[in-house]
Structure 1
Amino acid sequence: MTAVILASGCVAVAGISLIGKMIHEALRNKVSPIEIELDRLPISFDGSRILLITDIHRRKLPKHLLMSLKGQVDWVFLAGDIMEKNVPFSRVERNMRILKNIAPVFAVHGNHDYEAKTVSLDNILEQSDVELLMNSNVRLNKNGDHVWLTGMDYPPYRKRSYPMLPKLPSSEMEMCRIVLVHDPAWINRYSIKPADLTLAGHTHGGQIDLPFFGLIQLDKEYHNIACGLFQWKQPHALVKTATMLVSRGFGYRHLPLRLRCPAEMHLITLRASKVNG
């Protein structure tokens, strides 16, 4: 009997420890630094920094942590799921106030933004000077040079697929291009990847990554692009090396639980390729 009680106690302690770890991963406040080299990045953009945040859902952004980045970031990119259904708009307003005080902010919609009240969200973004990109291009300027940022709007209806990438002026096709999109599966529609850098979220990295069983909550089409950095070599294409970064995201689905997929934001430092230099 004593052995059974001890065993039950050990199981209970292990279960509580595991839940504690999962909550800690889900509520983690961390900015992960990463350097990404791009072949066509202008030399004047070398060292530029992007703060990438995806899948906020219902979380509050960590004000003190993010404000410490003021003056160190050139742009803030929000790759969708800025909120979700039943999140107080006051919380969204607070999050946007923090970000707009760091650097210019650009955003795209995610699926949960459409499931919530998108019109109200868009009003908050407009009032917060956040530029919402809906299948549109914008120039990012620095030191007399520029790159193109394209924001792809999440299709608001399940049966719809993403539209084609909006065209650039013919004289600008040789310029470096960054695509901000919520769903990384967008990249699969292209046999030749059309952007130097694609930034995405949506997957939460799977959120729950079980030993031996893997990503049990993530559709199989995402298993090869669940999170991290991916590259495609295209020697005969306009974009010789296409890169995609998929973030695990800052928020969570349903309960605040993650396992081996801790929450993250990214501080991206862009580097010009040595070939370009």
Structure 2
Amino acid sequence: MKNNSKKWLSAAAGTLLAGAGLGLTYARYIEPARLVTKSYTLTSERLPDEFSGLKIVQFTDLHLGYHYSIRRLRRLVRHIQEQQADLIVFTGDFADRPIRLKWKQEIVDCLTELHAPLGKYWIFGNHDYREESEAIVAKYMKAGGFTALHNTSVLLKRQQKHIILAGIDDVIRSTPNLHAATQHSSDELFTILLAHEPDLAENVKHLPVDVQLSGHSHGGQVRIPFYGEVIVPPYGRRYPNSYYEIGSRPLHVFVSRGVGTTRMPIRFACPPEISILTLKHGQQDVKEH
């Protein structure tokens, strides 16, 4: 009986070790490369009818240089272009340590391949400021044809109607100014805000802003059933993943898991994603599909 017990325990231990090894292999090499597309449709009476059908593609948290290669960036760009977006936005963390990212024309070439009729816009993330390297990120994004929104906004025009696209600077490593970013927003103008850290929504919900697009949290990067997100950074803990409706206006907060990884080069039950938000005029409703 003792020998049988030892054999059973040995077999069980072997099975557990093999399972753990397979899980780690999947989390390290397979899931981080499984780019998915998460799509939402937001219907709002506040949106001008002229903007009905507007398709926004959001990508975020590249973390180039930290197990995210130029080859993977090329695939990402092709995938984004296939979506035929009206507007493309990047919500921060271009590189993990930008100062170590040697200038590569291939990166610029990838960014310039992205096209959208209403333009391409971006904001800083906290990693973009590491080691005072924000100028490097800005140089890449400008060369790639992206327009920066640092505590400022632009008017997007269709026919004779307008909506506002605003951007806020990073909360953790810079000086965000919500008043400056939304100074032209009002109850009459539908407003979209780009904010790297999603938990900023607690301040945004008091302002005339309709939509907030964020990243930063990576969706937790590792998610355990019945527990939830494992790796969640500051300012990404209250609203770590997917969609939230908060405040009385209400404010619609869409949080993308992003495409890269940070801290550890693994993902589990939380694949990388780009997000598509389609806006429609009509009675308020949000659908994920």
TM-score interval for Structure 1 and Structure 2 normalised by the shorter chain: 0.7 to 0.9
Q: Aligned pair count?
A: 266
Deviations 1:183-240 (CA, angstroms, capped at 9, x unpaired): 1121112462431001001111111223354333225864431111111352xxxxx3
Match of 2:89 among 71, 77, 81: 77
Deviation of the 1:48 alpha carbon: 0.7
Aligned equivalent of 1:12 = 17
Match of 1:28 among 1, 19, 34: 34
Decide whether the 8 Å contact of 2:55 with 2:277 is kept in 1.
yes
For the residues of structure 2 that align with 1:67 and 1:249, how far apart are their CA atoms?
Answer: 17
For the residues of structure 1 that align with 2:194 and 2:27, how far apart are their CA atoms?
Answer: 29
Residue 66 and residue 222 in structure 1: after superposition, are their counterparts in 2 closer, same or farther (change >3 A)? Answer: closer
Letter in 1 for 2:281: A
- Structure 2 SS opposite 1:226: coil
Aligned equivalent of 1:210 = 224
Decide whether the 8 Å contact of 2:123 with 2:168 is kept in 1.
yes
Deviation of the 1:67 alpha carbon: 2.9
- Structure 2 SS opposite 1:99: coil
Residue 254 and residue 224 in structure 1: after superposition, are their counterparts in 2 closer, same or farther (change >3 A)? Answer: closer
Match of 1:247 among 229, 248, 256: 256
For the residues of structure 1 that align with 2:159 and 2:22, how far apart are their CA atoms?
Answer: 51
Match of 2:268 among 255, 259, 271: 259
1:106-125 matches, cutoff 5 A: 106-115=121-130, 117-125=133-141
Deviation of the 1:99 alpha carbon: 2.4
Aligned equivalent of 2:111 = 96
Residue 10 and residue 224 in structure 1: after superposition, are their counterparts in 2 closer, same or farther (change >3 A)? Answer: same
Q: Check if 1:39 corresponds to 2:45.
A: yes
Letter in 2 for 1:41: L
Q: Check if 1:198 corresponds to 2:203.
A: no
For the residues of structure 1 that align with 2:270 and 2:221, how far apart are their CA atoms?
Answer: 5
Deviation of the 1:30 alpha carbon: 1.8
For the residues of structure 2 that align with 1:102 and 1:82, how far apart are their CA atoms?
Answer: 23
For the residues of structure 1 that align with 2:113 and 2:196, how far apart are their CA atoms?
Answer: 21
Residue 101 and residue 187 in structure 1: after superposition, are their counterparts in 2 closer, same or farther (change >3 A)? Answer: closer
For the residues of structure 1 that align with 2:38 and 2:187, how far apart are their CA atoms?
Answer: 31
Aligned equivalent of 2:3 = none
Aligned equivalent of 1:237 = none
TM-score normalized with structure 2 length: 0.82
TM-score normalized with structure 1 length: 0.85
For the residues of structure 2 that align with 1:57 and 1:152, how far apart are their CA atoms?
Answer: 20
5+ residue gaps, structure 1: 235-239
Aligned equivalent of 2:82 = 68
Q: Check if 1:150 corresponds to 2:166.
A: yes
Decide whether the 8 Å contact of 1:100 with 1:128 is kept in 2.
no
Decide whether the 8 Å contact of 1:46 with 1:271 is kept in 2.
yes
For the residues of structure 1 that align with 2:203 and 2:155, how far apart are their CA atoms?
Answer: 24
After TM superposition, the structure 1 stretch with the greater mean CA deviation from structure 2, 8-17 or 211-220, is 211-220
Aligned equivalent of 1:162 = 176
Decide whether the 8 Å contact of 2:221 with 2:267 is kept in 1.
yes
Letter in 2 for 1:208: V
For the residues of structure 2 that align with 1:101 and 1:229, how far apart are their CA atoms?
Answer: 24
Percent identical residues: 23
Letter in 2 for 1:82: F
Q: Check if 1:140 corresponds to 2:156.
A: yes
